Amino acid sequence: AGLRRSEAVALEVRDVATDGRAVTVRRSKNKKGRRVPLGEASAAAVGDFIRRLSDPGYVIRRISRGDRIERGGISGEAVRKRLARLTKLAGLDRVSPHDCRRTYCGALLEVGVDLAVVSRLLGHGSLQVTAGYDKRGEIAEAEAANLIRFPYG
């Protein structure tokens, strides 16, 4: 859903729609809450995961050394460290949680979602901030120019 680390770790079960199709971000950088819809595949996975949790609390939880899922949440720094460890184990280049946010933004822009809509989904206070995430470059500019059709000859 393109959430910031701090937003993701603050999500509680009550913040996920009962069908899993959206999350409500209550604790955001700009102090404004927002509702973020999830795509079908994400909604199915999130809905299934939430149904398997036996109690309310945080969505992203601590796991004890004995692989027991605990009720308490984790920090944004713990997310960063875990992602770094998993990407290293997978043999991938370094990936940060913010890379996931940038990828979400880029994927939306790539399929033609309006910059203002992407900005709202990301919780940006300015279109200029969202535009800074746009890394499509010259190929996208050439494709955009080719979309213009004239009624003449």
pLDDT of residue 18: 77
153: pLDDT strictly greater than 60: no
Task: Check whether 143 has a pLDDT greater than 60.
Answer: yes
Reply yes or no on whether 29 is catalytic. yes
Q: Per the residue annotation, which of 4, 26, 52, 85 is the catalytic one? A: 4
Active site residue 101: yes
Sign of CA dihedral 71, 73, 79, 81: negative
Q: Which residues contact 36 (CB under 8 A, 6 or more apart)?
A: 1, 2, 3, 22, 23, 24, 25, 121
Select which of 101, 120, 149, 152 is catalytic: 101
pLDDT at 30: 66
Q: Which of 29, 32, 71, 85 is catalytic?
A: 29
- Concerning whether 4 is annotated as a catalytic residue, the answer is yes
- CA torsion sign, 9 to 124 to 115 to 77? negative
pLDDT tens digits for range 64-117: 888 777 778 888 899 999 899 999 999 999 899 999 999 999 999 989 899 999
Residue 36's pLDDT is 94
Give the pLDDT band (50/70/90) at residue 127.
Answer: very high
What pLDDT shows up at residue 152? 61
| 31 belongs to the catalytic site | no
pLDDT 10s digits, 18-77: 788 999 998 767 677 899 999 998 899 888 888 888 778 898 888 888 877 777 888 889
Res 139: pLDDT = 80
- Mean pLDDT along residues 127-148: 86
Instruction: State the pLDDT at residue 147.
Output: 84
Which of 32, 85, 98, 135 is labelled catalytic? 98
Residue range 142-148: mean pLDDT, rounded: 85
- Asked if 58 is an active-site residue, the reply is no
What is the CB neighbour count within 10 angstroms for residue 25? 21
pLDDT of residue 92: 92
Q: What are the backbone dihedrals phi and psi of residue 33, each rounded to the nearest 5 degrees, phi first?
A: -75, 160
* Options 32, 68, 124, 135, the catalytic residue: 124
